[in-house]
């Protein structure tokens, strides 16, 4: 039986999440060490996941994420649907502003990047590539997502969200972050100057659902000291509005944020 009050589903999620940051395939023993699941249990879970196609073995008997799991995610993830809807609009925005353009969603206290469209010209440092997570309170997409979250979510993140100093300009005072979030909610945008990289400024706006909450964030990264960020706002707002309208014609009553449903359903308080 799983120890520490863990359910079997929790252990399955741990096994799957052990591949994050692994840089490739893993053995069952490596998975056991990464997850701290007893070796016999880890081998049994791995065998069952291989049987259903969620994991695959290569000729050396090393394991990787299986195509069946990718198929399930591709067909069901609301975040991927949001990306598909947003991508044509993002391409137009990138062409207009000639700067890296990002699409992000909120996942608990983190921001998860769904897509980054880079430019061919030499550009500012942009560390946020697809799949990268950042603390919500340390990035411009995170600030707008927090600002336009339901009140209970906003209060929880402001009280408990991780404070991370990426540069000397990153805001790390919670009172100041609260002020910035409230101002963002009032104005509909945020400008984060040199928060993540000392050579860049990021401007973000929310993509809103019918109820006024954010289903995503759209942001642009520019060189610090370049044109005033306010010149980007008309294009950003127009693009976010176009994406918002387009999501209402997509499958389902509205797109929800990426929550990683299995992990959330089995989370131990």
Output the domain CATH number for residue 70.
Answer: 1.10.10.10
Domain identity same for 91 and 65: no
pLDDT of residue 128: 61
Mean pLDDT by 10 residues, the chain (269 residues): 64 86 83 92 92 87 81 56 87 90 90 86 59 88 96 93 92 95 96 90 93 93 77 93 81 37 39
Q: For residue 254, tell me if it sits in a domain.
A: no
Burial classification of residue 68, based on how many CB atoms lie within 10 Å of its CB (0-12 exposed, 13-18 middle, 19 or more buried):
middle
Residue 255 in any domain: the answer is no
Query: Is the domain of 28 the same as that of 112?
Result: no
Look at the alpha carbons of 189, 190, 196, 202 in this order and tell me if their dihedral is positive or negative: positive
Angle among Cα 174, 175, 181 to the nearest 5 degrees reads 85
Q: Are 134 and 234 found together in one domain? A: yes
Q: Are residues 113 and 136 in the same domain?
A: yes
Using an 8 Å Cβ cutoff, are 130 and 149 in contact?
no
Q: Are residues 113 and 190 in the same domain?
A: yes
Residue 223: Cβ within 10 Å count: 14
**Which pLDDT does position 258 carry in this prediction?**
37
For residue 176, what is the domain's CATH number?
A: 3.30.450.40
Domain of residue 215 covers 77-247
Count: domains in the chain: 2
- Is 230 part of a structural domain of the chain? yes
What is the predicted pLDDT for the residue at 266? 37
Of 57, 74, 91, the residue at which a domain comes to its end is 74
pLDDT score, position 254: 36
144 and 214, same domain (yes or no): yes
- Report the alpha-carbon distance of residue 229 to residue 190 in Å, rounded: 10
The verdict on 68 and 110 lying in the same domain is no
């Amino acid at each position: 039986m799983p120890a520490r009050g863990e359910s079997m589903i929790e252990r399955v999620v741990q096994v799957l999440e052990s591949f994050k940051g692994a840089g490739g395939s893993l053995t069952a023993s490596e998975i056991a060490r990464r997850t701290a699941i007893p070796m016999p249990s880890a081998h049994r879970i791995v065998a069952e996941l291989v049987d259903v196609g969620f994991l695959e073995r290569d000729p050396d008997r090393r394991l990787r994420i299986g195509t069946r799991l990718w198929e399930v995610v591709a067909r069901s993830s609301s975040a991927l649907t949001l990306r598909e809807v947003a991508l044509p609009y993002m391409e137009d925005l990138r062409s207009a502003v000639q700067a890296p353009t990002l699409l992000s969603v909120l996942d608990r206290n983190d921001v998860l990047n769904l897509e980054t469209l880079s430019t061919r010209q030499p550009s500012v440092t942009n560390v946020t590539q697809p799949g990268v997570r950042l603390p919500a309170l340390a990035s411009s997409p995170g600030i707008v997502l927090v600002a336009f979250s339901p009140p209970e979510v906003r209060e929880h993140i402001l009280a408990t969200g991780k404070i991370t100093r990426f540069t000397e300009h990153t805001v790390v005072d919670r009172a100041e972050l609260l002020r910035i979030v409230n101002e963002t909610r009032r104005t509909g945008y945020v400008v984060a100057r040199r928060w993540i990289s000392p050579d860049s400024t990021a401007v973000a706006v929310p993509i809103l659902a019918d109820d006024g909450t954010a289903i995503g964030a759209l942001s642009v990264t520019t060189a610090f000291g370049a044109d005033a960020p306010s010149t980007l706002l008309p294009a950003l707002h127009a693009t976010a509005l176009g994406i918002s309208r387009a999501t209402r014609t997509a499958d389902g009553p509205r797109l929800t944020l990426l929550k990683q449903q299995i992990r959330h359903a089995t989370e131990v308080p």
